Amino acid sequence: MGWRADAKHWEGLRPLARSMRRCATPAEELLWHRLRRDQLGVRFRRQTVIGRFIVDFYCPARALVVEVDGPVHDERGDFDAERERMLAARGVSVVRVRNEEVFENLDAVVRRITEALGG
């Protein structure tokens, strides 16, 4: 099935993803400046619909999702686990980073992503 949205979810999620790109969190914006324009040797998309979920960053060439987790994720463990199972079933790996990690040690976050990319 690949990374694309399920047809039944696409029409509802596409406008939401677009809105989320315009209203990114400060941590997402900071990380995006390091992922955009093929700076890691591969292209990333941001706020992309995969299946019935919107992921923060996605590298289709390596089937890798990067999720930036803020405080809201502390109470969404079951939802995040289901999301990761669904992505894994599609052959997609997930790297999760906390907002604090992005702000406090962006270079280490980028190294983790680079390692997950296979580099």
In this predicted structure, the answer to whether residue 90 has a pLDDT above a threshold of 50 is yes
| C-alpha distance from residue 77 to each of 10, 36, 55 (Å) | 24, 28, 15
Residue 17, pLDDT score: 63
Instruction: Encode 52-68: b = buried (16+ Cβ within 10 Å), e = exposed.
Output: ebbbbbbbbebebbbbb
- Of 12-16, 69-73, 97-101, the range with the lowest mean pLDDT is 12-16
Residue 1: inside a domain: no
What CATH number corresponds to the domain at position 42? 3.40.960.10
pLDDT of residue 11: 61
Query: Does 2 reside within a domain?
Result: no
- For all residues of the chain together, what is the average pLDDT? 86
Is residue 81 assigned to a domain?
yes
Q: What is the pLDDT of residues 23-78, one digit of tens each?
A: 789 999 999 999 999 999 999 999 988 888 889 999 999 999 999 998 765 567 78
pLDDT, position 38: 96
Residue 88 structure tokens: 């894994």
Mean pLDDT of 82-105: 95
Examine residue 41 and state whether it is found in any structural domain, yes or no: yes
* Number of structural domains the chain divides into: 1
Q: What's the pLDDT at 12?
A: 62
Residue predicted with more confidence, 70 or 114: 114
pLDDT score recorded for residue 1: 40
Q: For residue 102, is it within any domain?
A: yes
Domain of residue 38 covers 7-116
DSSP 1-43: --SSBPHHHHHHHHHHHHHHHHT--HHHHHHHHHHSTTTTSS-
Q: Is pLDDT larger for residue 100 or for residue 9?
A: 100
